[in-house]
């Protein structure tokens, strides 16, 4: 039984990845803060022939991470996906509550989860695979995005360092760094303003959660002797944070 843990699977990229990887002989462990969503997605996962375990907790809480993740022991695969952008403001106007949410989730939450899961992988001595969801914002800072970009720069740095740290344990580490993906991401960034969120994707065909899930599936299917260190994916009309052709 292959065991795959995906954080932030109640929506978007995490949900699509959970469904893509849900196959017989697999246990999909999904996390998020919305209990009802977790139950709905669990039913879809089970309908695909996989087992499902739901863990409803907040990755910002070190204690909750310990409470829910330590009993799992070793998993084969961890997809560190839970994350968010909150706000889009110049540095002099940004909300410190938004900054805390991004740093606590995207950086500290990812670290808390990784500390527990990587340690169980190393201890079991059977290797493993960890995929972190970064962003093009992890190498390309943009106006109004200082703290989100900083958090994804951190994910980029952590991914590279942990790849080196875990080499001797035979644990693969990869990073997926997408550009625009239409999920609940922009709605969350704009604190529920759906109209403003929709404008982000106007005039282009953005990536979908399924596009990212397909890339993750491919990374996981690489032969034992090969690791996909990094995948950068953008919609065809996007060439970077500042370059989007909207026709
Ligand atoms: P969504 O908002 O659709 O999904 C985010 C997921 O993260 C949800 O399942 C949410 O679950 C979970 N999450 C957020 N905060 C917490 C928390 N404190 N504890 C536990 N789970 C949490 O966005 P995406 O699918 O787009 O985002 C997934 C990842 O992809 C993020 O790391 C994001 O930065 C990254 N990304 C997104 C891009 C995009 O354009 N959409 C581009 C590049 C990277 P719940 O609310 O139930 O807790
Ligand atoms: C999400 C993509 O360009 O909004 O990481 O930062 S972007």
CB-side neighbour CA atoms (13 Å) of 146:
11
- pLDDT value at position 236? 98
Active-site positions read: 148
Q: 């001595």: which residue's tokens?
A: 125
- pLDDT value at position 238? 98
Residues in the chain with pLDDT values less than 70 = none
- Ligand 1 neighbourhood includes 33 CB (under 6 angstroms): yes
Q: Which residues contact 119 (CB under 8 A, 6 or more apart)?
A: none
- Ligand 1 neighbourhood includes 59 CB (under 6 angstroms): yes
Using alpha carbons, select from 88, 78, 135 the residue that is nearest to residue 110: 78
Ligand 1 midpoint to CA 14 (Å): 7
- pLDDT value at position 53? 98
Topology of the domain comprising 2-233: Rossmann fold (3.40.50)
Which bound ligand lies closest to the C-alpha atom of 104?
A: 1
Which atom of ligand 1 is the closest one to the Cα of 152? 34
**C-alpha distance across the termini of the chain, in Å:** 48
The token duo for 115 is: 């500390």
- Ligand 1 neighbourhood includes 32 CB (under 6 angstroms): yes
Cβ 179 vs Cβ 137: under 8 Å: no
If one residue of 32, 100, 145 were mutated to test the ligand 1 pocket, choosing by the most ligand atoms within 8 A of its CB, it would be: 32
Q: List the chain domain ranges.
A: 2-233
- pLDDT value at position 37? 98
- pLDDT value at position 117? 99
Is this prediction's pTM over 0.95? Answer: yes
The sign of the CA dihedral 147, 152, 158, 160 is negative
Cα-based distances in Å from 181 to 76, 77, 140, 213? 27, 23, 16, 11
- pLDDT value at position 247? 81
């Amino acid at each position: 039984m292959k065991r795959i843990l995906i954080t932030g699977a109640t929506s978007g990229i995490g949900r699509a990845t959970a469904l893509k990887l849900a196959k017989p002989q697999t246990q999909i462990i999904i996390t998020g803060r919305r209990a009802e969503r977790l139950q709905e997605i669990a039913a879809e996962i089970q309908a695909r022939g996989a087992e499902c375990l739901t863990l409803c907790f907040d990755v910002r809480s070190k204690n909750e991470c310990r409470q829910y993740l330590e009993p799992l022991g070793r998993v084969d695969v961890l997809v560190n996906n839970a994350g968010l952008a909150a706000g889009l403001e110049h540095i002099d106007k940004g909300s410190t509550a938004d900054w805390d949410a991004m740093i606590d989730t995207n950086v500290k939450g990812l670290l808390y989860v990784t500390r527990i899961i990587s340690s169980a992988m190393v201890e079991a001595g059977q290797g493993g695979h960890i995929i972190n969801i970064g962003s093009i914002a992890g190498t390309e800072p943009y106006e109004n995005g200082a703290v989100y970009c900083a958090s994804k720069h951190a994910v980029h740095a952590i991914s590279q360092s942990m790849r080196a740290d875990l080499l001797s344990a035979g644990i693969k580490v990869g990073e997926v760094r997408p550009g625009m993906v239409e999920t609940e991401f922009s709605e969350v960034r704009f604190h529920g303003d759906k109209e403003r969120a929709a404008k982000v994707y106007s005039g282009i065909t953005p990536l979908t959660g399924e596009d990212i899930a397909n890339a993750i599936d491919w990374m996981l299917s690489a032969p034992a002797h090969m690791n996909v260190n990094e995948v950068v994916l953008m919609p065809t009309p996007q060439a970077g944070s500042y370059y989007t052709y909207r026709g």
